[in-house]
C-alpha cells in the first residue's frame, strides 16, 4: 500500500529549475525520446510542475517499461496536472497540483475542488489530498474518504493529524483490518484530540456528515 510519506515524497515539485527538468532519453528509441521531451516542455510552458512526470519516467526506466508506455503515461500525467490545476484554482502551488494529479488516479475532479473549498485560502491542500489518495487506495470509498477529509479540515485538523490518521489506517489495513473499521477507530481518537472538551459533539457532527456506521472497539495492537 501507499503511505502518505511516499505520496508526498514522490509528488514534491517545488523549487526545481528548468535545467533539472529536462526529459531523460529513452534508450533505443529516438522518436519516443523526442515525444517525451515535447510533453515535458509543453507542460512546463503551461506553468505546470514537471517533476511528477520526470519521477514517473525515471521509475519506468528502472523497471524497464517500454518507451511507448512511458510516453503514454507522461501524456496522461500532463493532462491530469492541467485538470488538477484548474480544479484547485485560483492559486494552487506546484505541490498542490502534483498532489491533485496523484489524487485524480482515484477520485473525480469535483472532489479536488471540495477539498480546496474546505481548506483555508492560504493553506496548502497537498497533505489533505495525499491523505484522500491513500484512504481510497486502502479501500475506503471515494464518497466516505472525501467526506472525512473535508469534515476534519473544517474541524481544524492539522496536516500532521491528517497524515497520522492516514498512516495509522494504512498500518491497520496492512495487518489485515477492514478499511472502514480501521478508519472508524482511528477517527474516534482524532476527534477526541480535536476537541477534548466536546469530543462527542465533534465526533457526532463528523460521523453524521459521513453517514458512518457505529464505531467499533479498540484498534489492533
The answer to whether residues 134 and 39 belong to one domain is: no
Tell me, yes or no, whether 1 and 101 share the same domain. yes
In a structure prediction context, what are the per-residue pLDDT tens digits for the chain, which is 221 residues long?
Answer: 556 655 555 555 443 444 356 899 999 999 999 999 999 999 999 999 999 999 999 999 999 999 999 999 999 999 999 999 999 999 999 999 999 999 999 999 999 999 999 999 889 999 999 999 999 999 999 999 999 999 999 888 999 999 999 999 999 999 999 999 999 999 888 887 776 544 555 556 665 655 545 443 333 33
Residues 2 and 88 in one domain: yes
Q: What is the pLDDT of residue 1?
A: 57
- Interacting residues of 216 by C-beta distance below 8 A, sequence separation 6+: 181, 184, 185
Between CA 114 and CA 97 the distance in angstroms is: 15
3-state class percentages of the chain: helix first, strand second, coil last, to nearest 5: 70, 0, 30
Instruction: Tell whether 202 is covered by a domain.
Output: yes
Q: Report the candidate in 73, 71, 133 with the shortest Cα–Cα distance to residue 102.
A: 133
Of 62, 109, 61, 58, the residue nearest 81 (C-alpha): 109
Q: Is residue 219 part of a domain?
A: no
* C-alpha cell belonging to residue 39: 510533453
Determine the Cα–Cα distance for residues 209 and 221; give it in Å rounded to an integer.
29
The three grid cell numbers given for residue 45, joined into one nine-digit string: 510552458
Q: What is the pLDDT of residue 193?
A: 79
Considering 69, 84, 105, which residue would you say is the last residue of a domain? 105
pTM of the model: 0.82
CB-CB neighbours of 89 under 10 Å: 9
Query: Three-state SS for 107?
Result: coil
Residue 26 in contact with residue 10, Cβ under 8 Å? Answer: no
Q: What was the pLDDT predicted at 215? A: 40
Taking the C-alpha atoms of residue 39 and residue 75, their distance in angstroms, rounded to an integer, is 6
130/203 same-domain check: yes
Q: Which three cell numbers stand for residue 212?
A: 458512518
Domain with 49, as residue range(s), is: 1-105
| CA atoms of 67 and 154, how far apart (whole Å) | 44
CA–CA dist 11, 38 (Å, integer): 21
> Is the separation of the CB atoms in 88 and 113 below 8 Å?
yes
Closest CA to 44 of 52, 56, 55, 33: 52
Confidence (pLDDT) at 155: 87
Would you say residue 57 lies in a domain?
yes
Q: CB-based contacts of 188: which residues, under 8 Å, 6+ apart?
A: 203, 215
- Whether residues 130 and 73 fall in one domain: no
Amino acid at each position: 500500500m501507499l503511505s502518505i510519506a511516499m505520496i508526498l515524497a514522490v509528488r514534491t515539485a517545488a523549487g526545481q529549475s528548468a535545467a533539472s527538468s529536462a526529459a531523460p532519453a529513452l534508450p533505443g528509441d529516438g522518436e519516443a525520446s523526442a515525444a517525451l521531451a515535447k510533453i515535458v516542455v509543453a507542460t512546463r510552458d503551461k506553468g505546470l510542475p514537471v517533476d511528477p512526470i520526470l519521477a514517473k519516467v525515471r521509475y519506468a526506466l528502472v523497471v524497464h517499461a517500454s518507451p511507448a508506455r512511458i510516453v503514454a503515461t507522461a501524456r496522461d500525467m500532463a493532462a491530469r496536472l492541467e485538470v488538477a490545476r484548474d480544479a484547485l484554482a485560483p492559486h494552487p502551488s506546484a505541490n498542490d497540483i502534483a498532489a491533485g494529479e496523484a489524487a485524480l488516479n482515484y477520485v473525480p475532479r469535483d472532489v479536488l475542488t471540495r477539498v480546496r473549498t474546505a481548506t483555508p485560502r492560504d493553506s496548502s491542500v497537498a497533505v489533505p489530498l495525499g491523505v484522500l489518495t491513500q484512504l481510497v487506495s486502502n479501500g475506503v470509498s471515494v464518497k466516505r474518504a472525501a467526506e472525512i477529509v473535508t469534515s476534519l479540515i473544517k474541524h481544524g485538523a492539522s496536516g500532521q493529524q491528517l497524515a497520522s490518521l492516514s498512516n495509522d489506517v494504512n498500518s491497520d489495513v496492512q495487518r489485515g483490518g477492514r478499511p472502514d473499521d480501521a478508519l472508524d477507530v482511528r477517527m474516534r481518537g482524532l476527534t477526541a484530540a480535536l476537541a477534548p472538551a466536546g469530543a462527542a459533539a465533534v465526533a457526532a457532527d463528523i460521523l453524521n456528515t459521513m453517514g458512518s456506521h457505529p464505531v467499533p472497539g479498540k484498534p489492533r495492537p
